[in-house]
Structure 1
Amino acid sequence: MAYADDYVLGRALSDSVRLDAQHLLWKLHTGYTLHPQIPVRADMKVAELGTGTAIWLFDLSKDLPPATQLHGFDISGDQFPAPELWPSNVSLGLLNSLVDPPPSLTGQYDVVHVRMWASNIKDGNLAPLVSHIAKLLKPGGYVQWEEADLVHQVIAGAKAERFGEKVPALFRKAGLDYSWASAIHDHLEQARLGVLESRTDRFQPFLVQKCTDTYLLALAEILRGIGLTCAEDVLPLLREREADLRELSALHNKGIIYNWSPIKSLAQKGE
């Protein structure tokens, strides 16, 4: 089944490489793939929503028992690797995670993983996604969520600071609201998921460049996506920010810092 979607980021080769680089960024930041508080069982079932290239699942598959079932879901399969390359305990399929899951998936998973949905939530309403997560989980199951806070950023360098001051106006005109990320824990609690961890960090110095590089690539994708759907009166502002971003990208390894803040959340469904 194919789904219509308004995903603002890209799904081309460079966009997929950027996703894989972000996985490395997250793993070096957290020190794990599966949160260490989540118990591993031989027969556990794990789902990832918005799996993209499935890099998190592929990485996790080698660390879990062979009988573990790892299911990756996305609204588009354009970034899925060829099926013959999937690990034996991984399967990938299409699913809209902003509506109720089908009965065949309800209450099936020990773990649901969510990462970097910042540009997928257009109106700040997390309720559909969190409800979907809660319905997928078994009693006692865990949601592991890593998110990018694009509002509370770490920025240094004159051009980076100017860009950081200007680009929010474009996002507002394009209907992109990133303010919800800092309240993920509240939404989880409202869905009666017990929050075990919720913290916002900064990247260690050796990861600052990696975040800057991948963020600048993601911003280019976002601006391209805005250009495909925006109203005519938004185009002049968009072209200005695209020119600014090209200048900023040329300075990516020359002392500028343009980082989002990493958010880590872990919650558990009641028994």
Structure 2
Amino acid sequence: ALAALEAGLEGLRINPGNIGPREHVDRVVDAAKANGAVIRVGVNSGSVEKHLLQKYGGPCVEAMVESALSHVRMLEDRGFYDTKISLKSSSVLDTIAAYRLLAKSCDYPLHIGVTEAGGLMRGTIKSAVGLGILLHEGIGDTLRVSLTADPAEEVTVAWEILRALGLRRRGPEIISCPTCGRTEIDLFGLARAVEDALAESTADIKVAVMGCVVNGPGEAREADLGVAGGRDKGIIFRKGEVIRSVKGQDALLAAFMEELQRLLKEKETH
């Protein structure tokens, strides 16, 4: 911890009660103060102290909160208040309950997350439910999506959670419909191609990929640009108004990419 702070680390994740004698805590706090660093106190269901496990009969929500606040008090006793707190559990419901209780118990910034959430699909669902509920209630100042996957996927999921709640807007929003009896194109392939084309874009636009020309333009009327496929042709539309009609899916995709580049250039000039 001391070496990291001396190297310029701006945020330290450490529990003062776990680093040994009093003088160790004093040295870390002094170094954090000298370097203007923040300390994050973090407790999860597997790190609750033994005496609290005995008191509460296990790593329950109340035990996690009491554990975190006891570490925070050690910092407060040394005049250190640049602290944020994390309480994480692999249980979505316990995570929500723990942060709700903690938010009522102190005014420190809270770092939220569902720990050990799982792989890409299951972990995304658990994180979206847990973090979404907390953020909607105004609980949480920073967050981490924990997935057994490429860390880049964690960032993507986190941004999509924030976007869904209207808390952040950066990059395109892609909306697409599920398949149904009216779908007569390779909707999955078309949606993937559009997602790939926009993977690195930061433009604040909404793009729609719809399965049929009957309802597509109306259902995605708010989209800046949309594409919808039919049996022998597809259409491209802006704000619900059809601007092009194209035969063949390959030609439809190529035409859509042309319109997409035109839209992106328009956004760059404004």
TM-score by length of 2: 0.28
Tell me: higher relative CO, structure 1 or 2? Use CA pairs within 8 A at least 6 residues apart: 1
TM-score by length of 1: 0.28
Structure with the bigger percentage of strand: 1
Which structure: larger Rg?
A: 2
Structure with the bigger percentage of helix: 2
